[in-house]
Chains A and B, each alone.
Chain A
Amino acid sequence: MNWTPDQPIVSLINVHKSFGAFEVLKGISMDIMKGEVVCIIGPSGSGKSTLIRCINALNDIQAGSISVEGQEVHDDNLDKLALRKKVGMVFQQYNLFPHKTALQNVMMAPLKVLKQNKVEVEERARALMKKVRLEGKENSYPGELSGGQQQRVAIARSLAMNPDVMLFDEVTAALDPETVKEVLVTIKDLASEGMTCILVTHEMGFAREVADHIYFTDKGVIVEHGPPATFFDNAQDARTREFLGKVL
């Protein structure tokens, strides 16, 4: 299938996902265009994280279809490595490699997976460290960095693969309030450069400011979605209003 940029870069059609007998996703559909920033919000346990983990095949799905740039993800013959070169992911717990320095963390995947030239990779990695405002921390080990700094290294590490889509799984949930901002600023920069971003987040202010589209999920279904202005100020569904009433 040939994908053209005017088609959705990520497309989910009626996705169902269960863990054993427990159905987490009950028919989720969404289309995300290139360059769009999408925030998925909702109460804990509503399947938000599972949803974005399915997009880069960390979790498999039982029914429906997920495609990234026209490539079906829900396929036994899927080249997972090829998919993951296109889709970067940042986790709640940073998950940096503790035995490598910040710079080495960023360089590792392009060097080992893409087998790129070391000099070029290092140059790019240093540029990325600068981009996430961590100049001078290149030789620090993850254990020596604050949570916010580690998370920004994790973002740089994902970006080093030159992905087309970035997934952010509650990336600020484990951070101190004062370091949340530095990470959000980094993501905002990224969004303003036209990176397609899919975020699971609890930062409503951030979602309102940065997102092009908000999805509200509860109990495995999308309850409501829309552009931030209408979504936050004029929510239609009672469940959405109740949730927003609690968090805003």
Chain B
Amino acid sequence: MSRVIPGLTAVSKSDLPVLLPFKPTPAATTRVNFSQWLASIPFWVPFMIFAAAFWPVHAFAQSNGFSLTQAFETLWRWIPFLLLHGFVFTVIISVLTMLLGTILGVFLGLGQISRNRFVRWCSYWITQIFRNSPWLVLLFIVMLSFPFQIDLFGLSIPVPDWTKAVIGLSLPVMANISEIVRGAIGSVPSAQWEAAESLAFSRRQTLFEIILPQCIKRMIPPWMNWYAILTMATPIVSILGVEEVLNLTRQAIEAENNRPELLIPFYGFVLLIFFVYCYPIARLTMWLERKYAVKL
């Protein structure tokens, strides 16, 4: 007769209260909810949805003589244009926005931990205001308040719409990066500051030599998370006439005589490109999140 050993040869169970394994939770600011959700979608699901988007074409095919094959061919014809002119521009806007937002956000985040009370107070409120404002409103303000050209020493420099879009979108990004920086610095134990202090490091040296090198890795997943959110949000600049993927899609449908059965396939395709672009970013974010969360 073999012995039954709970936990080895049988399911371990106990009536006693058990202390469950401790899982350290990452600091609040490193939350990457959006990427977590996106990364949890099986990769084939959006493709299935996209395929289903052709259903209306099939349904209408009898009445107006526009077949499924024709609809697909029409989309196929437009894909290079939509990708190379539309989506590439969307990506450029998102990258530039992220760049600007990150630079401004890092300064704002450092401002939030400044020893100067006034700087700290200003940085806090700038961060809070831009973090909690509707993006479209910020975008309108920047779009409408900035001149369409700047006259400098008799030289007129045009300010195209997309630059204003970049500035407008970078404001909320800046505020969120500011929070990431503040949170990451705050996640380093205060004992590290003390140890550096006792070794005669100045505050600036402590920050740049000791604190930031320790938390920079932890900022990467939330930073990437915000990049994915931003990319998904860039189509709102189409409202203001920037020729990005959504606007070009609308123009393409117009060029195809506004056939109603094309609407869902075309916009469905746009949705699919956003997914294909952001999905790997989300997966990478989650992977880095797991990799860095344990350390420190």
Chain A contacts to B: CB under 8 angstroms: 56, 58, 80-82, 84-85, 87-89, 91, 93, 95-99, 108-109, 112-113, 157-158, 161
Q: Bound state CA distance, A124 and B198, in angstroms?
A: 20
Which residues of chain A come closer than 8 Å to B210, judged between CB atoms? 97, 108
**Within 8 Å CB of B195, what residues of A?**
91, 95-97
- B194 in contact with A112 (CB, 8 Å): no
Closest Cβ of chain B to A76, distance in Å, is 15
CB pairs A–B below 8 angstroms (17 shown) = A81-B200, A82-B200, A84-B199, A85-B200, A88-B198, A91-B194, A93-B191, A95-B192, A97-B196, A99-B214, A108-B209, A108-B210, A109-B199, A112-B209, A113-B205, A157-B199, A161-B200
Distance in angstroms from B82 CB to nearest chain A CB is 45
Chain B interface, >50% SS class: helix
Interface of A is mostly: mixed
Interface centre among B191, B194, B197, B198 (most CB of A within 10 A): B198
Interface string of B166-198 (1 = CB under 8 A from A): 000000000000000000000000011011111
A81 and B202 form a contact (CB under 8 A): yes
Complex Cα distance, B214 from A80, in Å, reads: 25
Tell me, rounded to whole Å, the shortest Cβ–Cβ distance linking A51 to chain B: 15
Q: Does B296 contact A (CB under 8 A)?
A: yes
Chain B residues closer than 8 Å to A85, beta-carbon distance? 200
Complex CA distance for A56 and B296, rounded to whole angstroms: 27
Complex interface: chain A residues within 8 A of B214 (CB): 97-99
In the complex, what distance in Å separates the CA atom of A138 from the CA atom of B202? 26
The listed residue with most A CB atoms (<10 A of its CB), out of B191, B200, B205, B214, is B200
A67 to B23, CA, bound (A): 47
Q: Quick check: is B26 within 8 A (CB to CB) of the other chain? A: no
Per a CB cutoff under 8 Å, which of A87, A88, A91, A112 touches B201? A112
> Which listed residue, B192, B197, B213, touches A58 by the CB 8 Å rule?
B197
Q: How far is the CB of B27 from chain A (nearest CB, A)?
A: 16
What's the Cα separation between A95 and B205 when bound, in Å?
Answer: 17
CA A90 – CA B34 in complex, angstroms?
43
Residues of B with C-beta under 8 A to A113: 199-202, 205
Which of B194, B200, B296 meets A109, CB within 8 Å? B200
Take A113-B199, A113-B205 as given contacts and tell me if A98 and B194 are in contact as well, using a CB distance cutoff of 8 Å: no
